[in-house]
């Protein structure tokens, strides 16, 4: 009996030893250091080439492979911010499997890395009162289905209280989702910090899901007919246009212009961030457009267009600016460095929020 037990123990030990030898090495990635350098690691023993594709790089950079099959690269002196990145493995882009912080998007799968730095940024988690992000389901009569949106409620919000709030409707980019302004743009932390600094009016921020497939002309109708009524029925929101704003990025920026200017009685604040306007919807609205400029300027308390000089939409947005000015529509512009990125989105939003509902 003792012999059998001994043999079983030897076999079990052998299996454990073999398992340990076959176990993949534990990798930390991304590994952010106090000097703002980052080491990225990726296990791919059979890969021939692994590249790092990141928005803090001018071009893709190669990783170096070690004897265990782990690839790595260290990038120094990265400016504090939140950056999307991925690995390109033998030509295929993949997210970092060691990083649970993912970019909310339906087309590409990037990971995110947060370089905090020594001083807190406007989107950083700070020791201030915090609002809440709620996931809500609503019935879309326009689309004949149930849809999801996100709602930011500010610190001190009481659903059954007497205090009413103005509302910002905030639209994501083309292949993003209703979560992208929250998970990538950190709208909740930006709002928390600005409210704590007494720079922003406490407000509700509503993030609808704007992707409706090929029926792109439907979303503006859904915002007006379904999303706004849902918020007004379920939250203590003001219902007049003076307390309602709309903003959006990229395709959402173009939708912001479409919705804002076809519903002039609904919004007094229209803010488009790097808007993509090469759509049939935009052309149908603004080609041969003859607006009542005096009435629009009276209705709009703020109209802004924001763009980065390296953005691939820079030239088209400049044309949009010229068009609105030729129509005598008053607008403010924010032109910064950088491209079509969510780093700039956070900047645009942080510039807009203090100017709403004042």
Tokens of 271: 């803010």
Please list, in sequence order, all residues whose beta carbon lies within 8 angstroms of the beta carbon of residue 274, skipping any fewer than 6 positions away. Answer: 249, 250, 253, 306, 307, 308, 311, 313, 317, 340, 344, 345, 348
All structural domains of the chain with their residue ranges: 25-115, 132-355
For the chain, percent of residues with pLDDT exceeding 70: 92
Query: May I ask the CATH class of domain 25-115?
Result: mainly beta
Contact 251, 284 (CB under 8 A): no
- 161 pLDDT band, cuts 50/70/90, is confident
Query: Under CATH, domain 132-355 is a member of which superfamily?
Result: Alpha/Beta hydrolase fold, catalytic domain (3.40.50.1820)
**DSSP state letter for 105:** B
User: What is the C-alpha to C-alpha distance for residues 283 and 301, in angstroms, rounded to an integer?
Assistant: 25
- 9 pLDDT band, cuts 50/70/90, is very low
- The shares of helix, strand and coil residues in the chain, as percent rounded to the nearest 5, are 30, 25, 45
Tokens of 32: 């952010």
**E strands present in the chain:** 31-32, 38-43, 50-54, 61-62, 64-65, 70-75, 81-89, 92-94, 111-115, 132-140, 145-153, 167-171, 204-208, 244-249, 269-273, 302-308, 332-336
Q: Cite the DSSP H helix spans in 154-244.
A: 180-183, 187-196, 218-222, 228-234
User: What is the C-alpha to C-alpha distance for residues 289 and 285, in angstroms, rounded to an integer?
Assistant: 7
Nearest of 356, 350, 355, 353 to residue 81 by alpha carbon: 350
What are the pLDDT digits (tens) for 62-114?
999 999 999 999 999 999 999 999 999 999 999 999 999 999 999 988 999 99
For the chain, percent of residues with pLDDT exceeding 90: 88
What pLDDT is recorded for position 20? 42
Q: Is-same-fold flag (25-115; 132-355)?
A: no
Element (H, E) at 316: helix 314-326
What are the pLDDT digits (tens) for 136-148?
999 999 999 999 9
């Amino acid at each position: 009996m003792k012999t059998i037990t001994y043999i079983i123990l030897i076999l079990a030990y052998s299996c454990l030893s073999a398992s340990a030898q076959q176990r993949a090495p534990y990798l930390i990635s991304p590994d952010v250091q106090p000097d703002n350098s980052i080491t990225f690691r990726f296990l791919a023993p059979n890969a021939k080439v692994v590249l790092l594709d990141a928005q803090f790089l001018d071009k893709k950079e190669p990783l170096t492979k070690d004897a265990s099959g782990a690839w790595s690269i260290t990038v120094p002196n990265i400016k504090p911010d939140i950056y999307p990145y991925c690995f390109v493995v033998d030509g295929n882009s993949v997210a970092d499997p060691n990083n649970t912080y993912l970019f909310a998007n339906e087309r590409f799968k990037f990971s995110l890395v947060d370089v905090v730095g020594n001083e807190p940024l406007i989107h950083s988690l700070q020791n201030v009162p915090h609002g809440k992000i709620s996931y809500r389901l609503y019935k879309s009569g326009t689309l004949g289905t149930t849809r999801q949106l996100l709602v930011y409620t500010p610190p001190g919000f009481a659903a059954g209280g007497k205090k009413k709030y103005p509302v910002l409707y905030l639209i994501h980019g083309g292949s993003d989702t209703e979560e992208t302004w929250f998970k990538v743009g950190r709208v909740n932390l930006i709002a928390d910090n600005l409210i704590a600094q007494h720079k922003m009016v406490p407000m509700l921020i509503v993030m609808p899901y704007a992707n409706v497939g090929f029926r792109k002309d439907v979303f503006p109708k859904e915002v007006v007919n379904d999303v706004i009524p849902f918020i007004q029925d379920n939250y203590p929101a003001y219902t007049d246009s003076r307390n309602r704003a709309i903003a959006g990025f990229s395709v959402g920026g173009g939708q912001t212009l479409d919705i804002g200017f076809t519903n002039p009685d609904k919004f007094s604040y229209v803010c488009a961030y790097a808007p993509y306007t090469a759509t049939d919807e935009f052309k149908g609205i603004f080609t041969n457009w003859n607006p009542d400029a005096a009435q629009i300027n009276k209705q709009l308390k703020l109209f802004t267009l924001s763009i980065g000089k390296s953005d691939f939409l820079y030239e088209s947005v400049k044309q949009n600016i010229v068009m609105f000015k030729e129509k005598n529509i008053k607008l403010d512009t924010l032109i910064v460095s950088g491209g079509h990125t969510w780093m700039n989105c956070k900047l645009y939003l942080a510039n807009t929020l203090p100017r709403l509902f004042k």
